[in-house]
Structure 1
Amino acid sequence: MCDIMCSGDVAANRAADGTIPDRCEIIIPSYNRPQRLYETVRAVRHIYPDMPLCLAVQGEAAHDDLAALVARDGRIRLDHHREPGVVSALNTSITSSTADVVLLLDDDAVPCVGWLEAHLAALNSDSRIAYTSGREVNVTQSRSAISEVLRIGAEKLLGFLVPVECRVNGRIIGWTTRFGLIFTNFCHPGRARINAPMEGNFATRTADFRAVGGFDPRFIGNAWGYGAELGQRFERQGRTGAYVGDAIILHYPHPSGGSRARKGNTWYFDFLRNNAILIESIGAFGWAGAAPRLIKRYVQNLRLT
């Protein structure tokens, strides 16, 4: 299903002997899902057998199978954090990396052939590109037809000021407006400019990440919006990101665990606080776009409690 052959710019990122010349590291954050992480690492190793990996493990330490794999592999570093917190774990793992480029991958996702090469091709195509995000194919869930119709209507009505280069076939891929509206459609083939990256399929130069200050450590719990906030800071420096439709991951959403798994009122108050942090970067008008999603999440939370 995902045996996508590298071609063009993607193939150019492999040397004649098939190796990847850039110094890269794949970082996989995970919280209390050791079996899921073990399966993801095995899948990554099938495609990239020699690529350095960093496991930003939070909560439970690596179980026997994963610990044995790490010990046997020799190119995996285990960055263990006792307390949950995806943002702090990622900041530590990225800033301590010796690689020139880091790629972030969710622990419940599997990259397709050509994934890393597509990210590198985009980053290397223009120094003004601060980061890249790839395409997500959700294997177990999909949007309903009604949801898609509503999204398309909202994009046409409210996204008319979003630049044409931020769209693929008319759909806005990953963009935050000055009024706090966030459009995300990381499921289409093609290429577009973005300012709101998807964190679970993401690449950046470590030097750029350090220079901009990394992810904001104030994001807590579900950490909603931490990628979009990073995008806002890059944009103030005159830089945006690139959506790369050839950098494909298959996403198998896990039913439990994860550092964003807190429920009920705690989840909602984290969501509210994280929205406030993002709006600090956008400006006061950002509350206009935040209001609908805050109301929607509040109603959803009431139904679940």
Structure 2
Amino acid sequence: MKISVIVPSYRRFWPLINTIQDLQQQNYNDFEIIVVDQNQVWPEECEESLAKVRQDSRLVWLTLDKPDVVIARNMAVQQSQGEVLLFIDDDVKIPDQLFIANHAANFIDPNTHIVSGRECNPDSIPETKVDKIPQSSAYLEKIKTFSPLQQTLWFDRNSEHSTEVCTFSTCNGAIRKSAFLAVGGFDENFCGNSYGDDYDLILRLHQLGYKSIYDPRPWLIHLRVPMGGLRMSDLKNKVNYVNTATGFWLFLLRHGTFSMYWHLLYNHVLRKTVFLKVNLQRPWRQLYVIPGVVAAFFRALLLLRRGTKSGILICN
């Protein structure tokens, strides 16, 4: 089974090189690494190491002139050769050389379509390797009482226990390519520094009956590098609040329920815009943040009626 590992990257030069080097050490026979480079220029001090990692024939290097992580992921899928798509962030460390193999093992079951792996913090690295972790936790029993939306938002992807659950993350998540294409991939209406496209994807897949599981065996360490990527707290990342907040509103309008409306409004819209720490510390920024959030609401209403947007054709 061929695995396509997809890594979009923006302004994370050394972290990306380190991530690629970890992938190149993987003990799995059939995989490719697709990097979508959204950087105009690379620092001179990285050029030698970059040239070295790019010598690997398993590496496919794509470029995107205008940074847009959702378009980048969809573009990578268009170029992929694998039966399974494995999405990871560009600021992760992968110490386990069986990381890809552990993801692939889940897809032996033809009924499994989506797998989320464990996202460890640097201070919560697994001490021992195990072949199978039993589903025996009060936490898992509680999760089963949650709605699919609540599972998506609240499931702890650093859990030690495997389970069937409605969750997915592009930091460490694998999906059958056929399932991904069946819903047209990621919705490109989630643009700019917009989070939630992976949550939107899993909820659309769940509505069609695709099975998703969490497995802690394919684990990695999420370094959460403060610069680059989608970090809205990085002042060098230019944020268009109309584009960014459109995705936040779209998620709320598409998937929100009565009981979850205020939670989504505060946590998924306002905390990431008006109440974002960097904006509270610089109150003059609200002069364009607040109008952007309001304009984004009306834009999201229009996009909701139009449906998902993607350059990927939906399978019949």
Report what 2:99 is aligned to.
Answer: 115
Structure 2 distance, partners of 1:248, 1:203, is: 12
The answer to whether 1:72 aligns with 2:55 is yes
What letter matches 2:204 in structure 1?
R
- Which of 216, 220, 223 is equivalent to 2:187? 216
- Which of 280, 298, 309 is equivalent to 1:303? 280
Q: TM-score, normalised by structure 1?
A: 0.74
What letter matches 1:303 in structure 2?
L
Structure 2 distance, partners of 1:268, 1:176, is: 30
- Whether the 8 Å contact between 2:6 and 2:88 is mirrored in structure 1 is yes
Aligned length, in residue pairs: 261
The answer to whether 1:247 aligns with 2:230 is no
The answer to whether 1:105 aligns with 2:105 is no
Query: Which residues in structure 2 correspond to 1:1-305 (within 5 Å)?
Result: 22-48=1-27, 51-61=31-41, 63-111=46-94, 112-127=96-111, 129-139=112-122, 168-170=139-141, 172=143, 177=148, 182-261=153-232, 266=239, 272-283=245-256, 285=258, 286-293=260-267, 294-297=269-272, 298-301=274-277, 302-305=279-282
Deviates more, 1:256-265 or 1:214-223: 256-265
1:94 Cα deviation after fit: 1.1
* Shift in alpha-carbon separation, 1:279–1:44, aligned structure 2, 3 A: same
Q: TM-score, normalised by structure 2?
A: 0.72
1:223 Cα deviation after fit: 2.3
What letter matches 1:247 in structure 2?
P
What letter matches 2:164 in structure 1?
R
Structure 2 distance, partners of 1:210, 1:177, is: 21
Structure 2 distance, partners of 1:98, 1:178, is: 31
What letter matches 2:61 in structure 1?
L
- Whether the 8 Å contact between 2:92 and 2:221 is mirrored in structure 1 is yes
CA RMSD in angstroms, aligned pairs only: 3.2
- Whether the 8 Å contact between 1:191 and 1:244 is mirrored in structure 2 is yes
1:69 Cα deviation after fit: 2.3
Structure 2 distance, partners of 1:204, 1:166, is: 26
Structure 1 distance, partners of 2:166, 2:15, is: 30
- Whether the 8 Å contact between 1:195 and 1:231 is mirrored in structure 2 is yes
Report what 1:6 is aligned to.
Answer: none
- Whether the 8 Å contact between 1:181 and 1:290 is mirrored in structure 2 is no
1:46 Cα deviation after fit: 2.1
Structure 2 distance, partners of 1:39, 1:61, is: 18
What letter matches 2:119 in structure 1?
E
Structure 2 distance, partners of 1:179, 1:49, is: 34
Could you tell me which runs of 5 or more consecutive residues in structure 2 were left unpaired when the two chains were aligned.
Answer: 126-134, 283-316
* Structure 2 residue matching 1:209: 3-state secondary structure: helix
CA deviations over 1:231-288 (Å, ceiling 9, x no partner): 1110111124111111100121212111444668947655532222213431553533
* Structure 2 residue matching 1:54: 3-state secondary structure: strand
CA deviations over 1:25-50 (Å, ceiling 9, x no partner): 21111102222211111122123486
Could you tell me which runs of 5 or more consecutive residues in structure 1 were left unpaired when the two chains were aligned.
Answer: 1-21, 143-163
What letter matches 1:273 in structure 2?
T
Structure 2 distance, partners of 1:220, 1:141, is: 32
